[in-house]
Amino acid sequence: TGYLHVGGARTALFNWLYARHQEGTFILRIEDTDKERSTDASIEEILESMRWLGLDWDEYYRQTDRTDAHLRAAQDLMDRGLAYEADGAWWFRVPTEGSTIVHDDLLGDVTFPNDLLKDFVIRRSDGSFIYHFVVVVDDADMEITHVIRGDDHLNNTPKHVLLFQALGRPVPRFVHLPMILGTDRTRLSKRHGDTAVLEYRHRGFLPEAMVNFLAKLGWSHGDEEVFSRQALIALFSLDEVNKSGAIFEDTKLLWLNQQHMKLADLDRLLDLVRPWILEPGRVNEEMWNTVDQEVLRVGAHLLRDRCKTLRDLAQAMELLFDVPLEPIDEIIVSAIQAPLMIAVAEQLECTDPFDPESIERDMRAALEANGATLKDVALASRLAVTGRRAGPGLFEILAAIGRNLVTARLREAAQGAGE
């Protein structure tokens, strides 16, 4: 119900990985009996979140479409005296003696004395059904073999076990995952920051990085940190799920996103970063379409190593376009450096081919002819052309930006020397 948050996404991922690893069936069931929380908008956001993460499903159901099945199951319990009516509601009759054991593949056997459970409502007086009843009926009818969910459901599981038994249906295997914690080791909530899955798409994260991060929230495989989707499917095992709570660290997610950006196919990365470059409006569609795609590919390849999100990469890649720089660092060119940079610009006008090796050769030659060396203008040139003190190799990034922009920016910075 509601929107898909980090905890629900981690649970969905573990179910998906287990189903795919076992070559089983992954079922997406929207449990929408809570009308206040389950709106068409929230359901669509759940589906969009799942699509973005790449968690494809084999079967899809909405709980409210199965009301007839729920009524038949409830009536069966009433007919057999396992449920009764009181105050207009239907109640399940819990055994007064003995215990109910939940067999959990992660936690082991958890025992609940029946006298502490008490009878509970399965159908409200208005005719609507309680979640804890319909979820059991649906699991039974859909022949669910494994229920993998958060440990906040554990205390309700004995009710589910009793209902499975009363309906004469096999009890599925349960795995109750440990909660996700904030850095203060309390349960992750909105006060810790973003928790809705699509917020991370809006912040510029790659879906494969988010999947990798979610998988590591409670599962591990040796000392490895970076996993492809295919590797996760191949390696995932419930035996490697941790019993203790996993800590959500934004810095870890940023690091993983950076690693996956380095690994991403360049053409796909360009498709992903394009909206981020166009959104601020400084670069328009015509500019994007005019720039040689190879320039964009080389530029993205050089710049992505230092970027943690698509937003970072988009900001870095603006320097490949004929737009005024928005420097990260102050561009300072001294009166001594200015004529040297003009000389370099004049030399680079004739550099052919405009590749890193030729650029280095001609820059050094121009500086030597003026009694200077590369170290005299290297930083100033980088600042003038990129607006940043640090970045990829100087000659590589100049080659990627291209002759026209490089020489124009060198001249502009030199003309502004001392201002």
Q: Is residue 36 included in any domain, yes or no? A: yes
Do 251 and 395 sit in the same domain of this protein? Answer: no
DSSP 8-class letter at 107:
T
Do 74 and 171 sit in the same domain of this protein? Answer: yes
Q: What CATH number has the domain bearing residue 363?
A: 1.10.10.350
Do 203 and 254 sit in the same domain of this protein? Answer: yes
Q: Is residue 76 included in any domain, yes or no? A: yes
pLDDT digits (tens, 9 = 90+) for 52-88: 999 999 999 999 999 999 999 999 999 999 999 999 9
What pLDDT shows up at residue 328? Answer: 82
Q: Is residue 404 included in any domain, yes or no? A: yes
Q: Is residue 304 included in any domain, yes or no? A: yes
Q: Is residue 165 included in any domain, yes or no? A: yes
pLDDT at 108 over 60: yes
What pLDDT shows up at residue 145? Answer: 97
d(CA 406, CA 256): 33
Label residue 401 by pLDDT band (50, 70, 90): very high
What pLDDT shows up at residue 36? Answer: 73
Residue that has been written with the tokens 């690893």 in this structure: 21
Q: What CATH number has the domain bearing residue 15?
A: 3.40.50.620
Do 372 and 274 sit in the same domain of this protein? Answer: no
pLDDT digits (tens, 9 = 90+) for 149-204: 999 999 999 999 999 999 999 999 999 999 999 888 888 876 676 689 999 999 99
pLDDT at 379 over 90: yes
Contacts of 248-254 with C-beta under 8 Å, sequence gap 24+, read 248/6, 248/180, 248/181, 248/182, 248/183, 248/188, 248/192, 248/217, 249/183, 250/193, 252/213, 252/216, 253/200, 253/205, 253/209, 253/210, 253/213, 254/308, 254/309
User: Domain of 296?
Assistant: 264-320
User: How many domains is the chain built from?
Assistant: 4
Q: Is residue 325 included in any domain, yes or no? A: no
Q: Is residue 328 included in any domain, yes or no? A: no
pLDDT digits (tens, 9 = 90+) for 217-229: 999 999 999 999 9
Domain boundary among 294, 320, 346: 320
pLDDT digits (tens, 9 = 90+) for 324-377: 988 888 888 899 999 999 999 999 999 999 999 999 999 999 999 999 999 999
Do 285 and 380 sit in the same domain of this protein? Answer: no
Structure tokens at 19: 């189903």
Do 185 and 53 sit in the same domain of this protein? Answer: yes
Do 187 and 289 sit in the same domain of this protein? Answer: no
Do 35 and 127 sit in the same domain of this protein? Answer: no
Average pLDDT of span 48-52: 98
What pLDDT shows up at residue 203? Answer: 96
Write the burial class of residue 305 (CB in 10 Å: 0-12 exposed, 13-18 middle, 19+ buried).
exposed
Do 148 and 296 sit in the same domain of this protein? Answer: no
Average pLDDT of span 102-114: 97
Do 269 and 294 sit in the same domain of this protein? Answer: yes
What mean pLDDT is reported for the chain?
95
What pLDDT shows up at residue 185? Answer: 86
Domain boundary among 177, 211, 234: 177
Q: Is residue 329 included in any domain, yes or no? A: no
b vs e for 93-124, b when ≥16 Cβ sit within 10 Å of the residue's Cβ?
Answer: ebeeeeebebebebbeebebeeeebeebbbbe
